[in-house]
Amino acid sequence: MRFIQIKNCYKVYKNGVTAIADLTLNVDKGEFVFVIGASGCGKSTLIKMLYREEKPTKGEVLIGGISVGKLRNRTVYKLRRKLGIVFQDFKLLPKLTVYENVAFALECIGMKSKDIRPKVLKALEHVGLKDKTRSFPSELSGGEQQRVCIARAIVNEPKLLICDEPTGNLDPKTSKEIMTVLDTINKDLGTTIVMATHDSEIVNRMKKRVIVLDNGVLVEDHMKGSFKISESV
């Protein structure tokens, strides 16, 4: 059984926009997959269907054999506990310190604070922020803030890490650092990573699997792929 199976999937929004059309895609455990394409081609929509923010209009999205679209609203949280999600806008809580922001994810699922501490410290170590635990988000650079988000996403040791343009707000040098962090997580922890981006430089350097969307349609799927810079990107 493949880890992620997307079968003939369509997403049509209420306003009639078809964001994903007849998408079929499989991802194995431990893979690192880029989803690329021009702005508005449906990357975020695909990501949202993975964490069940949106349901497929037609077809199926299976993660670990579970049909995500069929989950009831009140059981979605069970899926979310097995995922890590990272966004372009960091979504950190400004009044909490780095440590508290990461611990928040575990508090939310009702873990004991005794168990929370070692997990948070380990996650912060993975992203190289162990010496900034007491800082507040406003005292960090963009790259550091994004690393806090990654730490929060992996703190519960998810099998799948989903990133929607995690480097979208960062300069090239910082983006590179973030990619190194993600690559290490993928290699050391075996976490499957699906990352949407339109940063061709990153994609070309990383030499990972690349899936190209065009107007919601899968047009290319390369192992160790690269991505030509087209005008629309």
Ligand X SMILES: Nc1ncnc2c1ncn2[C@@H]1O[C@H](COP(=O)(O)OP(=O)(O)O)[C@@H](O)[C@H]1O
Residues that bind other proteins (CB under 8 A): 51, 73-74, 77-83, 85, 91, 93, 104-105, 107-112, 152, 156
Select 44 or 156, whichever has its Cβ closest to Mg ion: 44
Site residues for ligand X, window 10-39 (CB under 6 A)? 13, 15, 17, 19, 37, 39
Residue 45 vs 191, nearer CB to ligand X: 45
Of 17 and 109, CB closest to other proteins? 109
User: Which of 21, 23, 42, 44: binder of Mg ion (CB under 5 A)?
Assistant: 44
133 vs 123: CA distance, rounded Å: 11
Q: Give min distance, CB of 102 to ligand X, in A.
A: 26
Strands 66-67 and 58-63: antiparallel
- Which residues sit at the interface with Mg ion, rule CB under 5 A? 44
Q: Which residues in this chain contact ligand X in the complex, by CB under 6 A? A: 13, 15, 17, 19, 37, 39-45
